[in-house]
Structure 1
Amino acid sequence: MNAVTLEMKRTAVLLKLMGNPERLAIMVLLKESERSIGELAGLLALQPTVVSKHLTRLRAEGVVDYTRYYRVLQYRLVSQQAAAVLDTLLSLGAKPKNPAGHSVQE
């Protein structure tokens, strides 16, 4: 009998996604509000292509989704499990910094 449940496997995937600092920062920012790739790239000082690749991975795992406003995609966090883990991490001080070195405001 295998003690590993499907939910445990899903949680492990989520934690692996959060193990990447750039993806973690993206998730924190999307927990605050919807944002475009350009906004995320500017806040995190990353190339838009890098942000796009991370968002594609997060979307494939069901963590984020987007709404299209004309030609702009606005991404948002949709995983309640991810939001709960992020709440814990934020309470421990895991907040991304903007390019100027200041913590991003919630």
Structure 2
Amino acid sequence: MEIKRLSTILKLIANPERMAILFLLLNGDRSITELAQALDSSPTGIANHLARLRTEGIIDFTRYHRIIEYRLISEEATTILNTLRTLKDQAE
């Protein structure tokens, strides 16, 4: 993995709300509504974070009629998030 790509992924994950979104997506596909409810956040704010993550190739979406479900697609981000989750679990 290129250093520049790794740096970009880490910057995106470093935002607490984006990290929370990505942890939820690590467990499966979610809609904006599901993410907003789980994080007690506005759908607009969630949509803005998702757009940034999608632009950088971290996530993608699938449309089911009127429902859009987002999913994690970056193997690098998945590896980093799994490592962070392990560290978090060890600290608790």
TM-score category of the 2 structures, normalised to the smaller one: over 0.9
Q: 1:81 and 2:76 equivalent? A: yes
Partner of 1:42: 37
Query: Following TM superposition, where does structure 1 have runs of at least 4 consecutive aligned residues deviating by more than 2 angstroms?
Result: none
**Which is greater in Rg?**
1
Deviations 1:45-100, CA, capped at 9 Å, x for gaps: 00000000000000000000000000110000000000000010000127xxxxxx
- Structure 2: runs of 5+ lacking an equivalent: none
What is the TM-score when the length of structure 1 is the normalising length?
0.82
What are the equivalent positions in structure 2 for 1:1-106 lying under 5 Å apart?
Answer: 7-93=2-88
CA RMSD of aligned residues (A): 1.1
Match of 1:92, SS state, is helix
Q: How far, CA to CA, are the matches of 1:92 and 1:42 in structure 2?
A: 26
One-letter amino acid of the counterpart of residue 34, structure 1: D
One-letter amino acid of the counterpart of residue 88, structure 1: T
What is the TM-score when the length of structure 2 is the normalising length?
0.94
One-letter amino acid of the counterpart of residue 17, structure 1: L
- Structure 1: runs of 5+ lacking an equivalent: 1-5, 95-106
Q: Report the structure, 1 or 2, having the larger helix content.
A: 2
Match of 1:67, SS state, is strand
Report sequence identity in percent.
Answer: 49
Q: How far, CA to CA, are the matches of 1:91 and 1:61 in structure 2?
A: 24
